[in-house]
């Protein structure tokens, strides 16, 4: 048992659901008790999704506990199959079904006989893997399933596309700025003269999966999601992949050079050096930003970085290599992939921190007192408590991290966005500090304005006590309304009853 208040990566089924609901016309059925369909709320709220999230629960209740699911799961699958005609239904185990140890594969096999669509059991163990690992595994599983299916039917397309082409693998729902990154990556591929063959899982149909092998190579922008799928494709079709995250000016260039090498090996004859130079010097503002006076002021400032592998590693390199900022420590909560992270960042920071205990991270922040933090929402709150500004760079995230404006972190526009994020975090911190030195904009005590400033009214103790229970930001308004109410009626003593009578009369 572990005492825990907060977790960075969610439970395994969340990863499976993220992949399932990213695909078009794929439905997930969770084998779970009532209330475990909270994923639907998150997707509907955070992504502001217009469509119903294609996830339902086959509810595990007391009866299931006593007698087993029996026909229930099979019925729910076939029912969903006839209601929505999905291409694929993924039966998703949860922590509850992990310990019930029902033979879910058997349910899947039986349901498959009566379903028009395909039915599959997500192969994830709740107690062994987290959200990210489960998502990675589920994506690979779906890719493998449809590759094998096409091969069996003999309609696996042969050969490559005529022009160089790419699959972008790992864009998913509830991923940090995934939609914007995807747009930016497609634009980048367009600029490089590379066709986008298939993007998975987001917005893809499972029918497209058999075409994956037609691309010249795969691009995996995120370390956490897609690696298993591209490794599978590499094994099956000898497809090369590029797993350099194009985040930051230097890494974007490195990613493009790698792409150049990969496609030239297959007979293309491209040279992207001029493109890289043009983008770096003239299109992206980030390179110029790092030369400008503003950025000079950031030299040697202390920062700490924490997040998932992809974003924390890329951010650390940007801060240290491109902006001259001193990264005291960089950390990740992807403990299962810690070696990769260490290898990526160790030359760019003093210390590497691998943990998923937010308390430890909070202490590490307090210890080094950085000028800015780049982390998740949790670090943002630590920053608030310690009065240190924080730029959010990775999940877990809140609704404000799903902006509707265009905010990629990848590609050349991404470099601009990251530069803004970094700059704004630091200046705000500086401003705050200067304000403190010079005594602030204004005094903290706001002079009471309006009619109650010079009150002829008497608040009784119980009235005052009740008034103080009202949240600060409306208290002034309630006080004024109540006093007006009392004055209008010639009431001299305001007690708790007058307070509520006033509330009823003005309806505020």
Partner 1 sequence: MTVAQSQSSNPESLNFECETGNYHTFCPISCVAWLYQKIEDSFFLVIGTKTCGYFLQNAMGVMIFAEPRYAMAELEEGDISAKLNDYEELKRLCLQIKRDRNPSVIVWIGTCTTEIIKMDLEGLAPNLEEEIGIPIVVARANGLDYAFTQGEDTVLAAMAARCPKEAPVAQSDKDERSGIKKLLNFGKKKEEIAQEESEYVDHPPLVLFGSLPDPVVTQLSLELKKQGIKVSGWLPAKRFTELPVIEEGYYVSGINPFLSRTATTLMRRRKCKLIGAPFPIGPDGSRAWIEKICSVFGITPKGLDEREAQIWENLEDYVKLIRGKSVFFMGDNLLEISLARFLIRCGMTVPEIGIPYMDKRYQAAELAFLEKTCKDMGVPLPTIVEKPDNYNQLQRIKEIKPDLVITGMAHANPLEARGINTKWSVEFTFAQIHGFTNARDILELVTRPLRRNNSLKDLGWDKLVKEEAQV
**Binding stretches for partner 1 (CB under 8 A):** 1-7, 10-11, 13-14, 32-38, 40-42, 44-45, 48-53, 56-57, 59-62, 65, 76, 83-85, 94-96, 99-100, 126-128, 130, 378, 381, 384, 396, 398, 461, 466, 469-470, 496-497, 500, 503-505, 507
Question: Which C-beta is closer to partner 1: that of 349 or that of 392?
Answer: 392
Residue with the two structure tokens 């790092």: 290
Question: Which C-beta is closer to partner 1: that of 37 or that of 208?
Answer: 37
- Residue 430 annotated as binding site: yes
Instruction: Specify whether the CB–CB gap between 286 and 414 falls below 8 A.
Output: no
Question: Which C-beta is closer to partner 1: that of 93 or that of 414?
Answer: 93
Question: Would you call 27 helix, strand, or coil by DSSP?
Answer: strand
Question: Which C-beta is closer to partner 1: that of 144 or that of 377?
Answer: 377
- Residue 308 annotated as binding site: no
Considering the complex, what minimum distance in angstroms separates the CB of residue 275 from partner 1?
36
Considering the complex, what minimum distance in angstroms separates the CB of residue 260 from partner 1?
39
Q: Which of 414, 435, 413, 422 is nearest to 298 (CA)?
A: 422
Instruction: Specify whether the CB–CB gap between 223 and 310 falls below 8 A.
Output: yes
Q: What are phi and psi of 98, to 5 degrees?
A: -60, -40
Query: CB burial class (10 A; 0-12, 13-18, 19+) of residue 467?
Result: middle
Region of 85 on the Ramachandran plot (φ > 0 left; ψ -120 to 50 alpha; else beta)? left
Is position 109 annotated as part of the catalytic site? no
- Residue 36 annotated as binding site: yes
Measured distance CA(483)–CA(459) in Å, rounded: 9
Instruction: Specify whether the CB–CB gap between 308 and 224 falls below 8 A.
Output: yes
Q: Which two tokens stand for residue 261?
A: 């090498």
Q: Of residues 294, 432, 462, 488, which has the active-site annotation?
A: 294
- The DSSP line for 245-306 is ---SHHHHHHHHHHHHHHHHHTT-----HHHHHHIIIII-SHHHHHHSHHHHTTTT-EEEEE
**Following CA atoms 483, 486, 491, 492 in sequence, which dihedral angle do they give, to the nearest 10 degrees?**
0
End-to-end CA distance of the chain: 47
Measured distance CA(407)–CA(397) in Å, rounded: 15
- Chain centroid offset of residue 377 CA: 10
Question: Which C-beta is closer to partner 1: that of 129 or that of 315?
Answer: 129
DSSP code for 53: P
Instruction: Specify whether the CB–CB gap between 205 and 155 falls below 8 A.
Output: no
* Own/partner pairs, 177-183, CB within 8 angstroms, 24+ separation: 177/401, 177/403, 177/407, 177/408, 177/409, 178/202, 180/406, 180/407, 180/408, 180/409, 181/221, 181/408, 181/409, 181/410, 181/411, 181/414, 183/406, 183/408
Q: Which of 81, 223, 228, 234 is nearest to 142 (CA)?
A: 228
DSSP code for 371: S
Q: Please enumerate, by residue number, every residue annotated as part of a binding site for substrate.
A: 429-430
Catalytic residue numbers?
A: 294
Q: List the binding residues for [4Fe-4S] cluster.
A: 36
């Amino acid at each position: 048992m572990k005492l825990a208040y907060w977790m960075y990566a969610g439970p395994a089924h969340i990863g499976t659901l993220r992949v399932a609901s990213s695909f078009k016309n794929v439905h997930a059925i969770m084998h779970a008790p009532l209330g475990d369909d909270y994923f639907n709320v998150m997707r509907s709220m955070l992504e502001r999704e217009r469509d119903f999230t294609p996830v339902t629960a086959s509810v595990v209740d007391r009866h299931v506990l006593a007698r087993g699911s029996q026909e229930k799961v099979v019925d729910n699958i076939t029912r969903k199959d006839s209601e929505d005609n999905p291409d694929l239904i993924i039966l998703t185990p949860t922590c509850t079904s992990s310990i019930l140890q029902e033979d879910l594969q058997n349910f899947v096999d039986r349901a498959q006989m009566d379903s028009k669509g395909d039915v599959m059991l997500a192969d994830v163990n709740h107690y062994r893997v987290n959200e990210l690992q489960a998502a990675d595994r589920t994506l690979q599983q779906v890719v493998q399933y449809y590759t094998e299916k096409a091969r069996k039917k003999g309609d696996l397309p042969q050969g490559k596309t005529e022009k160089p082409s790419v699959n972008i693998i790992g864009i998913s729902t509830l991923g940090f700025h995934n939609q914007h990154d995807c747009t930016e990556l497609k634009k980048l591929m367009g600029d490089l003269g590379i066709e986008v063959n298939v993007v998975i899982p987001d917005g893809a149909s499972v029918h497209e999966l058999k075409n994956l092998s037609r691309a010249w190579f795969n691009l995996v922008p995120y370390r956490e999601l897609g690696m298993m799928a591209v490794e599978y494709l590499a094994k099956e079709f000898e497809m090369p992949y590029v797993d350099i995250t194009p985040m930051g000016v230097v890494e974007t260039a490195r990613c493009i050079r790698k792409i150049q090498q990969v496609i030239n090996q297959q007979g293309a004859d491209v040279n992207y050096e001029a493109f890289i130079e043009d983008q770096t010097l003239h299109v992206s503002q980030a390179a110029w930003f790092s030369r400008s006076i503003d950025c000079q002021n950031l030299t040697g400032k202390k920062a700490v970085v924490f997040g998932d592998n992809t974003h924390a590693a890329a951010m650390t390199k940007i801060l240290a290599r491109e902006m001259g900022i001193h990264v005291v420590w960089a950390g990740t909560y992807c403990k299962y992939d810690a070696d990769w992270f260490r290898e990526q960042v160790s030359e760019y920071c003093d210390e590497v921190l691998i943990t998923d205990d937010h308390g430890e991270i909070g202490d590490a922040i307090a210890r080094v007192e950085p000028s800015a933090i780049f982390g998740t929402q949790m670090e943002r709150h630590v920053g608030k408590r310690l009065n240190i500004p924080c730029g959010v760079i990775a999940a877990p995230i809140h609704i404000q991290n799903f902006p509707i404006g265009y905010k990629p972190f990848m590609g050349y526009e991404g470099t601009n966005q990251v530069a803004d994020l970094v700059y704004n975090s630091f200046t705000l911190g500086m401003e705050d500090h200067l304000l403190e030195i010079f005594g602030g904009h204004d005094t903290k005590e706001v002079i009471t304005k309006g009619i109650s400033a010079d009150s002829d009214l008497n608040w009784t103790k119980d009235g005052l006590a009740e008034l103080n229970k009202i949240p600060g930001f409306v208290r002034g308004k309630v006080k004024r309304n109540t006093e007006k109410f009392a004055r209008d009626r010639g009431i001299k003593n305001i007690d708790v009853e007058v307070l509520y009578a006033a509330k009823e009369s003005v309806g505020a």
